[in-house]
Amino acid sequence: MARSSSGIIVATLTAAALAGVGFLAVQAEAAPDHPTAHASGRAAGKAQDGEQGKDKAAGGAGQEQGKAPNAVPEESGTGLRVVYALAQKRVWLVGSDGKATRTFEIAPSTVNPPPGSYAVTSRTPTITGSDGTPVEHVVVFHRDAAGVVFGFSAAVDGSSPKPDPTKKTGAIREQPADGRAMWEFAVNKTPVVVVP
């Protein structure tokens, strides 16, 4: 009987010791020095990423006097707007705070709208483009005196065909994801600023 009592005591002490070690391990893991070490590691990583980002921006092509290559053009107004830079073949979706929420390249058609300020006049979910390609997320902002309609759209199949030089069209093609972003951003009457 004494023998089984000592076995129970040993088993109980062993279980208590293991529970104590487990408890201490959990406490050590939750100690304040762990989050601080991880946080400082993340901060250091962010600092390094920031420095690399600065280096990339500093070496970027098309940069002017420390300006990021894809920065919103300066002479494009203020506030919420769509900015379309003809020479860069690029669009910016600019929030009311003046910061771009998205920027992307586009494929213009044969006719460009004159630089100036416009506003979204109509939107069509899907239609057949003037080149016969099914397009979606059509956002129109101008019609010139010759009847050329200028608007952003995305080919349903994601293609960016070369425009027929014999046709005068004002379609501005985007990739499907960019077209969705434009559709969600540029509701009717949203300002559209075209810069050279």
CA 12 and chain centroid, separation? 60
Helix/strand/coil (H/E/C) assignment for every residue in 72-98: CCCCCCCCCEEEEECCCCEEEEECCCC
At residue 57 the predicted structure's pLDDT band, cuts being 50, 70 and 90, is very low
Residues above pLDDT 70, as percent of the chain: 64
pLDDT given for residue 160 in this prediction:
77
How far apart CA 51 and CA 46 sit, in angstroms, is: 8
Total-model pTM = 0.65
Contacts of 81 (CB under 8 A, 6+ apart): 94, 190, 191, 192, 193
Among residues 69, 80, 94, 91, which one has the least CA distance to residue 178?
A: 91
What average pLDDT does the chain have? 76
pLDDT, tens only, 86-124: 999 999 999 999 999 999 999 998 999 999 999 999 999
How far apart CA 161 and CA 173 sit, in angstroms, is: 9
Among 14-18, 93-97, 155-159, the range of highest mean pLDDT: 93-97
Q: Which tops the pLDDT comparison, 160 or 33?
A: 160
pLDDT given for residue 133 in this prediction:
87
Contacts of 146 (CB under 8 A, 6+ apart): 168
Tell me the β-bridge partners of 178. Answer: none
- CB contact at 8 A, 95 and 80: yes
pLDDT given for residue 10 in this prediction:
52
What's 183's DSSP letter? H
